[in-house]
Amino acid sequence: MTTVGLKLFVQIPVCSECMLCVHKAPEHACDRIIDIEEKQLEELKALVLNAQVKVKACEEVSANLENMLSTLQEQKDNAHARILEAFKTYAALLEKRQVYKFMCRTYHTICDL
């Protein structure tokens, strides 16, 4: 293999000697790497830029989802606290009612004597 410039054959670098004997035109289209380097670099830069835009969009969506999740957690906690408070209130009312009924039965029992 010589140190003469490499050429690109179907996205695979090949030396000039291999191009003359193995990868002959017109079956194999080959370009010199130096000729397509700038185009490939621009395509790569465009891909990176596109990926960066998508990453930023994903990060924004992720932040919004985190905020929504936090809001939902707060709503869940508030609902749980209200339900627990209502339960305690009803339990206290039921207990008072049972005490009242017991007192009424005891009073009637005493009065019937």
For residue 60, the model assigns a pLDDT of: 98
For residue 24, the model assigns a pLDDT of: 58
Query: What is the rounded distance in angstroms from the CA atom of residue 79 to the CA atom of residue 71?
Result: 12
Query: What is the rounded distance in angstroms from the CA atom of residue 40 to the CA atom of residue 30?
Result: 14
Is beta strand 12-14 parallel, antiparallel or unpaired with respect to 7-9?
antiparallel
The tens-digit pLDDT sequence of the chain (113 residues) is: 444 454 444 556 656 656 556 655 556 666 677 777 888 899 999 999 999 999 999 999 999 999 999 999 999 999 999 999 999 999 999 888 888 888 887 877 777 66
Compute CA 21 distance to the chain's CA centroid, rounded to the nearest angstrom. 52
Tally of helices (H runs) and strands (E runs) in the chain: 2, 3
